[in-house]
Structure formats: C-alpha cells, structure tokens
C-alpha cells in the first residue's frame, strides 16, 4: 500500500507522533460511539480533529475531521463508518517527513 506522506516543520517534529497516536485513540472511541449510534461524540471528535489538523497544517486530517463532523450532523452512520475506515488506513500508512521550508515540499 502506498504511504501517505505529510510534511512538517522541525519545530513540531516531537509533537506530531503524539498527535497521531491520539488520533488513533480517537478512532477507537469513534468505533465504540458508532456501535452505540452516539453521533454526538463523533461530531465533537470530528470538530476537534478538523481544528487540530489545521493547527498543525495537516490538511488531509483536517478535511477528514470536517467530513466526520458533517456526516454526524446529518445522521449518516454508514458514511461515518466509511470515513473512519479511510482515516484508519490513512493513519496506519503515514510517513512523516521533516522539511526546513516550503521549498522542500512537493508541489
């Protein structure tokens, strides 16, 4: 499977692995919430993921959080299940690359 590469600045290189592990824990919480049809928890976690992803310039993670939040607001459990699976795959195939400036990021 192809790796999902994210590019980060050296300033946050210590934070990102912890951040990713927390998102994996969020996935477990979302699986449990979905099994109980507790979409409110998923909506809140989606909102949190959307915000924290953008805080660290992790656009893909932020977009997934937004998608989760919207799906939960619209009562779409099947879509949520699909997003959770995609998010899990994304996190489990993640490669972090440290760049010193924007010029090192691929276009």
The reply to whether 16 falls in a domain is no
The reported pLDDT for the residue numbered 104 is 53
The reply to whether 105 falls in a domain is no
Domain count, the chain: 1
The reply to whether 46 falls in a domain is yes
The reply to whether 76 falls in a domain is yes
pLDDT at 77 over 90: yes
The reply to whether 84 falls in a domain is yes
Dihedral sign computed on CA atoms, order 83, 84, 87, 92: negative
Q: Give the residue from 98, 25, 14, 19 showing the smallest Cα distance to 53.
A: 19
This prediction's pTM: 0.89
Q: What is the mean pLDDT of the chain?
A: 94
pLDDT at 103 over 60: no
The reported pLDDT for the residue numbered 5 is 93
Domain, as residue range, for 41: 4-8+28-98
How far is 16 from 6, CA to CA, in rounded Å? 10
The reply to whether 67 falls in a domain is yes
The reply to whether 63 falls in a domain is yes
pLDDT at 107 over 60: no
């Amino acid at each position: 499977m192809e790796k999902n590469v994210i590019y980060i600045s050296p300033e946050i290189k210590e934070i990102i692995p912890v951040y990713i592990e927390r998102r994996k824990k969020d996935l477990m919480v979302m699986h449990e919430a979905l099994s109980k049809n507790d979409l409110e928890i998923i909506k809140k976690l989606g909102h949190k993921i959307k915000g924290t992803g953008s805080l660290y310039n992790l656009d893909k993670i932020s977009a997934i959080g937004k998608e989760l939040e919207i799906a939960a607001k619209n009562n779409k459990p099947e879509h949520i299940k699909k997003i959770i699976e995609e998010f899990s795959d994304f996190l489990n195939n993640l490669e972090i690359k440290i760049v010193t400036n924007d010029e090192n990021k691929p276009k």
